[in-house]
Amino acid sequence: MDIVCWWYSAGGKMDYFYGPGRNHLFVPGPVNIPEPVIRAMNRNNEDYRSPAIPAMTKTLLEDVKKIFKTTSGIPFLIPTTGTGAWESALTNTLSPGDRTVSFLIGQFSLLWIDQQQRLGFNVDVVESDWGQGADLDILASKLAEDTAHTIKAVCIVHNETATGVTNNLAKVRKILDDYSHPALFLVDGVSSICALDFRMDEWGVDVALTGSQKALSLPTGMGIVCASPKAIEASKTAKSVRVFFDWKDYLKFYNLGTFWPYTPSIQLLYGLRAALDLLFEEGLENVFERHARLGKATRLAVEAWGLKNCTQKEEWFSDTVTAVVVPPYIDSAEIVRRGWKRYNLSLGLGLNKVAGKVFRIGHLGNLNELQLLGCLAGVEMILKDVGYPVKLGSGVAAACAYLQNNTPLIASRV
């Protein structure tokens, strides 16, 4: 997360450590908020029971389905974070003691597994080295053995931001289909949806979720969950305790046409409207291609620096975050500290098993090529600062060469 330090001065005024210019925010969420979204949110509170907010909410729910690529899914806009969205997905579809298969490949998949266990589910943990993707061969074996269909859900993180690993969801669906297994397919798309291609209906995803502070480029505070008809049906018999996250309450108010079982953030709703409009104006396929360019350019820069990607195979490379492995004599946390202290550049820390070993460059959300090049230039200076023998300009040049040859004209300016 971005490192912001503040204190109360003698006069009682809250302040922060000012740096000239803009903070260069390159953590893998929260991300840069575009100016049109900031302006859309700069408004007073409104009565959410007035005709205006239900009318806007109705259009938001229809448009949110487009980012999941679903026509049959039902979305829920929940005042929460991705962690709350996890809990909503689990407690609405499963009962205590239900067996799940979940893949441990990094810090965020670890946290979701921890949540599943604390909620009382029987979790089959499939662990891989950090830097590898989910071991789908083990999934196939477990499903083949499970002729009694005791596995009630397969839970997977689409894009593990701790290691920069993207999993192949189409393969998961194929394995489920190959064994005609009825398990629910639950997906954390927090750092993928709106940046990487996500096909809820085509891949037979039963619950998908994301957070507002990632590729949607909003402030933190809205967890977006989308449930398939199969998941909605499962929620009718699921016995997990839920109150705040209960889909039933939402569905009741959807049917009434008022949409909200409790008070939403008016400002976030207007921000979401603006964020979706920006995505649709650019075109989702163009958004995915832009993220692919930025991811590739970042990986070329890392290679030019003589450093390694934490992700061990190209098939798992993430287009939203790159985790960079540093030599043993360098503490990656010092790279993050130096970036913030000297260059007003915020990079992602290494987490848990890779703490001190990697730093992360986030390249997701409302971001363009020149912004990324500024980040890469900053990283080169930091590497020099901490004693790594980088050739200044090497990574920037590699990224520039690629981007100059592959960046299209801006569609609205052609």
16-71 pLDDT, tens digit each: 688 889 999 999 999 999 999 999 999 999 999 999 999 999 999 999 999 999 99
Cα 273 to Cα 59: distance, rounded to the nearest angstrom: 9
Is there a contact between 375 and 31 (Cβ–Cβ < 8 Å)? Answer: no
Contacts of 255 (CB under 8 A, 6+ apart): none
The residues near 91 (Cβ < 8 Å, ≥ 6 apart) are 119, 238, 240, 241, 242, 245
Specify the pTM.
0.95
Give the confidence band of 7 by pLDDT, cuts at 50, 70, 90: very low
Q: What is the pLDDT of residues 244-294, one digit of tens each?
A: 999 999 999 999 999 999 999 999 999 999 999 999 999 999 999 999 999
Residue-wise DSSP of 215-267: TT---S--EEEEE-HHHHHHHTT-----STT-HHHHHHHHHHT---SS---HH
Q: Is the dihedral of CA 70, 278, 191, 116 positive or negative?
A: negative
How high does pLDDT run on average in the chain?
95
Asked if residues 153 and 92 have their Cβ atoms less than 8 Å apart, the reply is no
List the structure tokens of 104. Answer: 């441990």
> In the beta sheet, which residues pair with residue 151?
99
Phi first, then psi: give them for residue 89, nearest 5 degrees: -60, -45
Integer Cα distance of 30 and 51 in angstroms:
32
Question: pLDDT tens for residues 293-341?
Answer: 999 999 999 999 999 999 999 999 999 999 999 999 999 999 999 999 9
